[in-house]
Amino acid sequence: MTVPLVLASSSPFRRALMANAGLTFENRPAEIDERKIEAGLEGASPDQVALTLAKAKALDVSRHVPHALVIGSDQTMSLGNRVYHKPKSLAKARESLLSLSGKTHRLNSAITLAGHGDIVWEHVSHADLTVRPLSETFVDRYLARVGEKVFGSVGAYQLEGEGIQLFSDIEGDYFTILGLPMLPLLGKLRELGAIDG
């Protein structure tokens, strides 16, 4: 008998990745204050921030469904020591994009598994994305075309859409970029006997 899987996320992208992989799971978003948790992590690395939030999500949901294996995930975007958040306005999106122009930033995608209120596994994958040099006029035209879609992404871009035009190089797998490192997750679920191996 397999252990039920629960995804502690409200992200439609993460749900789609799990469903497309043929996994049977319940979706139950965590009820945590991410910004409050992050405020207590001053000086933490982007990896530590992502991992702490992923653990908090998994543990919150695991308390409600202790018999299940709960998947918690979170992603941070960093350029050096600066950690980015989803833009709240087109002006903030513009500032973010211009700050990334001509530079390589990192996506830090953390994933955890919790069972019976304890973390049983954790992992962080990385992707490095190089933004080509961008002119202010190009960024303005890009934002005019994509509009409010930029609010759904920490980097103000979606690689699966027009955002791909911002980049000159990408190192890392697709799943890490979307915020759910599927290959390490599937490997661990098989190892634990939670899915067919």
Per annotation, catalytic residue among 47, 60, 74, 140:
74
74 catalytic? Reply is yes
**Contact (Cβ atoms closer than 8 angstroms) between residue 155 and residue 190:** no
Partnered with residue 113 across adjacent β-strands are 71, 121
Look up residue 197 and give its two tokens: 């191996």
Cα–Cα distances in Å, from 84 out to 6, 38, 74, 87, 115?
A: 28, 12, 13, 8, 30
d(CA 2, CA 48): 31
Cα–Cα distances in Å, from 121 out to 53, 60, 115, 125, 195?
A: 14, 15, 10, 14, 16
Active-site residue set? 74
